Amino acid sequence: VVVLLTIDAVRADVLADPARTDEWPTYKKLLREGAVFTQARSPGSQTSVSLTALFSGKYFSELKWSWFGAGRSRFEYAVTDPTPRLPQTLSDAGVSTYKAASLIFLKNEFGVAPGFTEEEVVTEGRRHATAREVVTPLAARVRSVGRDEAFFGFAHLTEPHSPYDRGKLKQGEPFERYVSEIGATDHHLGDIVRALSAPGVAGRSLLIVTADHGEAFGEHGTHQHTKTIYEELVRVPLIVWGSKVRARTIDEPVTLVDLNPTVLDVFDLEIDDDTAGESLVPLLAGRDVELTRPIVAEGRLRRALYAGDLKVIVDLRRTTVEAFDLSRDPGELDNLFDRDPARVAPLLATLGAYFEARAYRAPGYETPYKP
């Protein structure tokens, strides 16, 4: 019994601050009892991009994107891309799959998270549903899971989102109101934890809590998200709590794309050789293993690749290159490429080779700029 909760726009540094999480009992419990990944990255800084990558197990440029939807909900989605999605693979294997959709593009038909056999849409248009609207039915469905039923549930919570007016703090600085919104999700996480701790599922349940991307508050001259792939937007929290998970802090770099093979591994299902991710199950069990797949982030035709503490960013539109040593320069202010291009060259070559080998190609198709 696995539940995946993604929470909109949560920066990793907020949940890493004990002064804040001490006020949030559910987060505090998960951080104490779960596997906490300190170096998790989102594959993008847009919800539809990062969640599509998570469920497909591939990065943005590895998928085919096309226009879909109507009116103000019409954007580019990977709806016609043939890559199998995690929910469909689980459904085909006999796992019960349930989704409470808080955003219209999370409906099966948009291709972000398709393949759920049970879908409860609690929004319309471009409205962001509240956490209560998605968690209440999800928790009820978890409580109804049969003793011999394999189950995968998903919901995306949209509380931490501009204009930062869904938390207890209604006035004050935007960052503090934003943090207040993250705190407002704690009670709803508690509902899921209690459902997963009930007789019949306790002892065989797993909860994965992460974010689709981070949020900027003036770093690099930007606010909110989508605009860049700097760390304030792609470094996210990742906590896995539940059966057979060893409580510990894990510093091994990971990506949300790893969650695709991880969930398949949990259900003892075959992992597609073409996935860009790698299963985290050995790390969850307490083993120290070194993962070998590249970690990538993309957004607005920018591509980033990580190697140890080094991060390189290529902007295909502006034809610029940036490189940062995150151990010395976590704020990404000192561009090493300007001073030491030779150090950056191997990683830059690896980034180019990766997409040369794996980018989606078809006659007349070009990887789009998704605003």
Give backbone dihedrals phi and psi of 207, rounded to 5 degrees, phi first: -120, 125
CA-CA-CA-CA dihedral for 176, 182, 185, 186, to nearest 10? -90
What is residue 71's predicted lDDT score, i.e. its pLDDT?
Answer: 87
What is residue 72's predicted lDDT score, i.e. its pLDDT?
Answer: 83
Which residue positions in the chain have pLDDT lower than 50? none
What is residue 126's predicted lDDT score, i.e. its pLDDT?
Answer: 87
User: Is 308 within 8 Å of 251 (Cβ atoms)?
Assistant: no
Give backbone dihedrals phi and psi of 170, rounded to 5 degrees, phi first: -100, -15
User: Is 48 within 8 Å of 105 (Cβ atoms)?
Assistant: yes
What is residue 70's predicted lDDT score, i.e. its pLDDT?
Answer: 87
What is residue 62's predicted lDDT score, i.e. its pLDDT?
Answer: 98
For helices 174-184 and 186-196, the axis angle rounded to 10 degrees is 20
What is residue 73's predicted lDDT score, i.e. its pLDDT?
Answer: 82
What is residue 172's predicted lDDT score, i.e. its pLDDT?
Answer: 94
User: Is 130 within 8 Å of 124 (Cβ atoms)?
Assistant: no
Q: Please state, rounded to an integer, the average pLDDT across all residues of the chain.
A: 96
Q: What is the pLDDT of residues 280-319, one digit of tens each?
A: 999 999 999 989 999 999 999 999 999 999 999 999 999 9
Give the gyration radius of the chain's Cα atoms: 20
Instruction: Return d(Cα 85, Cα 70) in angstroms, integer.
Output: 23
What is residue 125's predicted lDDT score, i.e. its pLDDT?
Answer: 87
What is residue 97's predicted lDDT score, i.e. its pLDDT?
Answer: 98
